[in-house]
Every structure is written in structure tokens, then in C-alpha cells.
Structure 1
Amino acid sequence: MELRHLRYFAAVADTCHFGQAAARLHIAQPALSYAIRQLESELGVSLFARTTRQVALTAAGEFLKGEVDRILLSIDAAVDGVQRVAAGRSGVVRLGLTGIAVFSHLPRIARAVRSELPHVELRVVSDLLTPDQCDRLRGGAIDLGVLRPPVVGEGIEVRTIDVEPLVLAVAADHRLAVEPVVSVDDLRSESFVMYDSRDSAVNEAAVRTCRAAGFVPHRAHDASGTPVLLALVAAGLGVALLPASVRALPLENVVVRDLPDTGTMQVALARRAGDDNPVVDAVAAVAAAAFASASARALDSSIGETAMGEPR
């Protein structure tokens, strides 16, 4: 039984008219009549009761019509699904994010993907520092990462999507919490809370900022992730220099102050070098477009970054 015979049968069953069915199928009526007779011969039943005035389905034909409608719908859905996957418009993308980016960047990315790629499922893996994301990208555990360059190791491509300044996080009862303007130099005698990762991009930016002000920060406590870090700050065990998007987090007993003399940090989309998965391409493009204006600012101000597949 050939698929075309099922489509021919469905057209005649829908119209109960060989001439109309042939016109719909764009084939000659004799060829259609012959194909239906072949199908009836193969099944050993009559599917249509034919007279000179009308064509009607037999009981066997009525049963077959229901089955064929179901089969053809399933086949059409399969074809549509295959084409969506090949075009990057369907599938699953595992997205890793830093703890802060879950609050500050995920909502915009998720909304854009839901709007532009409604058949794509995002599976979020959260609270991953940049080194961990790089390891997971190389190992195939995630497909895209939202992280802060520089990346750790080789085989990772990045595209800048946002640039933000560093800000100061202090306990609500800290002496600097009530100051209208805070300078990095005001932190010279402070204890700092930092991430415990040796390759943390946020740590590197904080140390670089302090050294530019003429001192090395006193690292008093280490935290495994952003929630722990903020809890230590809230407890008064130290201050922290963090990306400005930390304001997107629910902060209890923590005050955030701008620092006019700090540098900036980039937020980037990262993926495995050479990954040609079309759905990953599509999600990366949609996510980058969601931050298009920020990306333009980043390209104007950033130092040598490598775009996905396009050296700057």
C-alpha cells in the first residue's frame, strides 16, 4: 500500500466525486480511478459504491476513511516537525546562567524565545559561574550559556549581549549604606566577600577595580554562589563588588550603591565552537536580538571580543 494511494483515497472519500478529486490532486481522472481500483484489489474489498449518478463510501470505506485521516494527519505532523527541527524552529535547548542572570537576563530571553520560537523548549540550568558553564558547554551538558567573559579554556565562542557597571553591595546597617555617594577608595579598609571559584570573572573585575584605586581588596570570605555571597554580605561579614544586575535579585538586608569610579563587565552568550545545531543557532540569534541595543553598546566599548564565528 503506497502513501499516494491513501492520499488519493482520502480525496475521493472527501468529495465522493472522482472528477473533483482528480482536479484537487492535479492528476487525470482515469489515473485516479485506476489507483483506487488497485487499492481495493490489494485490500480485497470495495471501498466505494459506484453508480452512474453518484459515488458513496461502503462500510469498509467509511472505516478506512477514519484510519486514513488519522494516518495522514500524523504524517503531515511528522513532516512539519522534521522541517521545523531542520530550520531551528523546534527542539530543546539547555541554557546555563549565572545566579544573577537568572533574574536579570533570563526573563527577556525566555519571552523572546517564546514569542519567536514557540515550538522550542528552554531547559534552564541556573546558578553556574563562568568556569562551570565553560566545562558544561565543552562536555555537552548545556548548549548555550549566559556568562561573564573571559571564558575559561578553549573551544568556546562568545557574543556580547550586555555591558554593566560594578556596584557595591553592603549590609543595610553598614556605615556606607547611608552615604549618598561612595567611591572605590572608601573600601580600602573593608573586608570583601567573593566567589570561591579561582577563575571567577566577577572576582577578577573586583580586584582590577580595587587595584586601579591603589589597593588590594582584603578577601575575608568565599561563597559558592550568589545567594550565599549575598547572605554573607547581609550578615555584615564583608562588602562585595557585583554587576549592576544584582539589583534584579530580591535583596533582604542588603543595600546596593553605585560607584562612579568602577569599570564595567560584559554579559555574553557562549556556545561550543563548531556547534552547528540549527535550534541552538536560532535561540542564540533570538537571545542576541533581545539585547540588540546593549550589544551595540558593547561592541563600541568592549576590548577584543570574539563574536560567534565572526572574529572582530
Structure 2
Amino acid sequence: MELRHLRYFAAVAETCHFGQAAVQLHVAQPALSYAIRQLEAELDVTLFTRTTRQVSLTPAGEYLKVEATRILADVDDAVDGVRRIAAGRSGLVRVGLTGIAAFSHLPRIARAVKRELPDVDLQVRSDMLTPVQCEGLRSLELDLGLLRPPVVGEGIAVRTIDIEPMVLAVSVDHRLAVEPVVSVDDLRNEMFVMYDSRDSAVNDAAIRSCHRAGFVPQRAHEASGTSVLLALVAAGLGVAVLPGSVRSLPLEGIVIRELVDGGTVELALAWRTGEDNPVVEGVADIIMSAFALEANVGENL
């Protein structure tokens, strides 16, 4: 059965008039009548009762009218969906994020994508360190990542979307909690809470700031994720030097203070080099526009 025959049948079934249906379909009436006879012969049924004055549907024709309407609507939806995906307007995009970025940057990303590409679904995986995101991109488990450079391994391209100052997180009863601004040198004798990963870009940024001040931070406790790290800080077990976006997290029992010489840390959008999925490209463009920086690094998608 050809799709063309179903469309012809649907037009005649709707009008119950071969002449009117032929006009709608922009075909000659004899050609339309021949196509309907072909369809009836293929199905071995009579779909229309024809008289000199009237054309009406048989019970089999009534049934096929309902089914043809459904089938043709499904076909049209499929064609539209394929075209939207090919144009980067529809589809699924899997995004990985660092722990803090899920709170600080994801809301803006989700709003922008929903506004610009309402038919795109975002599947989000949070609290992923940079090496895990890079592996997820290479293994095709992720399409995009929001991570802290540098990337681990090959085949990953990045574009910086934010540069954050490093800030100090202390418990509310810590001696530095009352200070509006703190220097890294003030942390010389403090115990630190850090991430337990050797590849943590946040750890590296904190350690660099301490080295510039002339000391090595004393690592008292390690945490696998941001929520655990902050809980340890709130308990008074140490201080933490974190990206400024930590302010977007719920911080009961914690005070955030500026670090005048704490340095900065980057947040970057990452994707597979040679990515040619138009839906992924569309979402990447929206994210980069939402966090447009005058000085971007990396390569264009």
C-alpha cells in the first residue's frame, strides 16, 4: 500500500466527491479514480458505494477513514519531527555539570533552552568532576559538559563561559566569619576541607592561592561532593576556598567571605571535537549566548 493511495483515499472519504477531492489533491479525476480502484483491489474490499448521484463510504471504508486519518497524522508528525531535529530544533541533549554549577548556572541554561528551543529535552547529570565528564563525552554518554578546565584527555573542545572569584567558606562561629574581607594569608594556620579527587580544578585553584601567599594548606578533611564538603565546613572541621557561585547553594551554618587575593577559577562548556549533531550545536550556542563573555577562549563549535 502506497502512502499516496492513503492520502487519495482520505481526501475522497472526507468529501465523498471524486471531483472535489481531485481539485484538493491537484490531480486529474480519472487518475484519482484509478488510484482508489487500485487500493480496493489491493485490500480486496469495496471502500465506496458509487452511484451516479452519490458517493458514500462502506463500513470497511468508514473504518479505513479513521485509521488513515491516524496514520497520516503520525506520518506528518514524524516528518515534522525529523525536520526539526535536522534543523536543531528538537531532540534530547545530555548535559553533565559540576556540583556547584547545577545550582548556579543550570537554572539560567534551562530557562534559555526552554525559551529558544521548547521542543528540546535536557537530561542533566550533576555533581560530575571534570575527568568524569570528559570520559562521558568521549563514550557518547554525554553531549555537553559544564566543567572546570583543564580537560582530561583528547577529543574535547571547550569554551569558557564564566570566570569566578575564589571565596572563603567558614562556619558561622569561625573567627573570620565577622570579617567582611579576608586575605589568603589569614588562612595560614587554618585546617582545610577539600575535594577528595586529585583532578579537582577547585582544589588546584585553592592550593595555588595558598602557594602565592607562601604556605601549603593543611588538608584536614576530604569530601566526595560539594554538599558533604559544605557540611564539614558548617560543622567547624575546617575552612574551604571555593568558586564564588557557591553563594547560590543553601548554606545553613556557613558564612561566605570575599578573598581579596584568592584568584579565580574558570567554568567552561565542553563538547566532543567534530560534533555535528545540530541539536547539540543549537543548545551549545544558547548556553554560550546566555553566559557571553567578552574574552572567550577555546574553539568555536
Decide: shared fold, TM above 0.5: yes
Superposed, 1:255-294 pairs within 5 Å as 255-292=255-292
- Report the CA distance between 1:5 and its aligned residue: 0.7
1:64 corresponds to 2:64: yes
Unaligned runs of 5+ in 2: none
Please, what TM-score do these two structures have when normalized by structure 1? 0.90
Aligned to 1:197: 197
Aligned to 1:307: 299
**3-state DSSP class of the match of 1:221?**
strand
- Report the CA distance between 1:211 and its aligned residue: 2.2
Aligned to 1:302: none
Contact 2:195/2:224 (8 A) holds in 1: yes
Q: 1: CA distance between counterparts of 2:276 and 2:253?
A: 46
Aligned to 1:186: 186
Percentage of pairs with the same residue: 72
Report runs of 4+ in structure 1 exceeding 4 Å deviation. none
Contact 1:221/1:238 (8 A) holds in 2: yes
Aligned to 1:144: 144
Aligned to 1:158: 158
Aligned to 1:168: 168
1:74 corresponds to 2:71: no
Aligned to 1:210: 210
- Report the CA distance between 1:307 and its aligned residue: 2.5
Q: 2: CA distance between counterparts of 1:287 and 1:181?
A: 32
Letter in 1 for 2:66: G
Contact 1:157/1:273 (8 A) holds in 2: yes
- Report the CA distance between 1:243 and its aligned residue: 0.5
Q: 2: CA distance between counterparts of 1:282 and 1:288?
A: 10
1:230 corresponds to 2:230: yes
Report the CA distance shift for 1:43/1:136 in structure 2 as closer, same or farther (over 3 A). Answer: closer
**3-state DSSP class of the match of 2:56?**
strand
Contact 1:89/1:119 (8 A) holds in 2: yes
Superposed, 1:90-169 pairs within 5 Å as 90-169=90-169
Compare 227-236 and 272-281 and name the one that shifted more: 272-281
- Report the CA distance between 1:203 and its aligned residue: 1.1
Letter in 2 for 1:24: Q
Compare 165-174 and 124-133 and name the one that shifted more: 124-133
Letter in 1 for 2:299: A
**3-state DSSP class of the match of 1:222?**
strand
Aligned to 1:34: 34
- Report the CA distance between 1:84 and its aligned residue: 2.4
- Report the CA distance between 1:99 and its aligned residue: 0.8
Q: 1: CA distance between counterparts of 2:79 and 2:45?
A: 30
Report the CA distance shift for 1:36/1:165 in structure 2 as closer, same or farther (over 3 A). Answer: same
How many pairs does the alignment contain? Answer: 301
**3-state DSSP class of the match of 2:216?**
coil
- Report the CA distance between 1:129 and its aligned residue: 1.4
- Report the CA distance between 1:126 and its aligned residue: 1.2
Q: What do the CA deviations read for 1:38-87 (whole angstroms, capped 9, x no partner)?
A: 22232333322233333222222211111111111121122222222322
**3-state DSSP class of the match of 2:122?**
strand
Compare 237-246 and 214-223 and name the one that shifted more: 214-223
Q: What do the CA deviations read for 1:284-309 (whole angstroms, capped 9, x no partner)?
A: 122222222xx33x42xxxxx31244
Please, what TM-score do these two structures have when normalized by structure 2? 0.94
**3-state DSSP class of the match of 1:46?**
coil
Superposed, 1:2-17 pairs within 5 Å as 2-17=2-17
Q: 1: CA distance between counterparts of 2:56 and 2:200?
A: 74
Contact 1:160/1:307 (8 A) holds in 2: no
Q: 2: CA distance between counterparts of 1:29 and 1:101?
A: 64
Contact 2:180/2:258 (8 A) holds in 1: no
Q: 2: CA distance between counterparts of 1:141 and 1:18?
A: 54
Aligned to 2:84: 84
Contact 2:195/2:203 (8 A) holds in 1: yes
Letter in 1 for 2:241: L
